[in-house]
Amino acid sequence: MMHFLTGIGAIFVVAGWLYQQPKLGRLLSVPFFLGVVLSTVSLILDQRNGEILRKCYSVGKEIELELRKEKGAIFKMFSDYGKRNTYTKTLRATFILVGIIFLLLSILTLVFSGNQSA
């Protein structure tokens, strides 16, 4: 998440700089398009990380049950928690929403930068 937020900050810094450069104004949509790419890649990585964590929790649950001979504890809780609304689902929705916003910003800057140069 830290890299995602840093990437968003960098995108807006580059877009602000391009906005101030009269000769490079036509490239203003490029950072926003890269924001769409960043959101998409982050979404894919998060889905893969979620799968890995679910597998780790299920294996941890089995080991925990075998060692403790009880109902289980923390890994059982993590394993069962994945069946409800989780942080991962919220994070995925955030990546999708930010990607859509960047796509709209990219399209709007293409449309309006074309009107200003004419």
Report if residue 117 sits inside a domain. yes
**Confidence band, pLDDT 50/70/90 cuts, at residue 6:** very high
User: Is the entire prediction scored with pTM above 0.75?
Assistant: no
pLDDT at 56 over 90: no
**Domain membership of residue 78 as a residue range:** 44-84
Lowest-pLDDT range, 20-29, 32-41, 49-58, 79-88? 79-88
Structurally, the chain folds into a number of domains equal to: 2
As a three-state string, the secondary structure of 29-72 is HHHHHHHHHHHHHHHHHHHHHHHHHHHHHHHHHHHHHHHHCCCC
Looking at the structure, tell me whether residues 70 and 51 fall in a common domain.
yes
Report if residue 64 sits inside a domain. yes
Looking at the structure, tell me whether residues 99 and 77 fall in a common domain.
no
Looking at the structure, tell me whether residues 116 and 95 fall in a common domain.
yes
Give the per-residue pLDDT at 118. Answer: 39
Average pLDDT over residues 76-105: 77
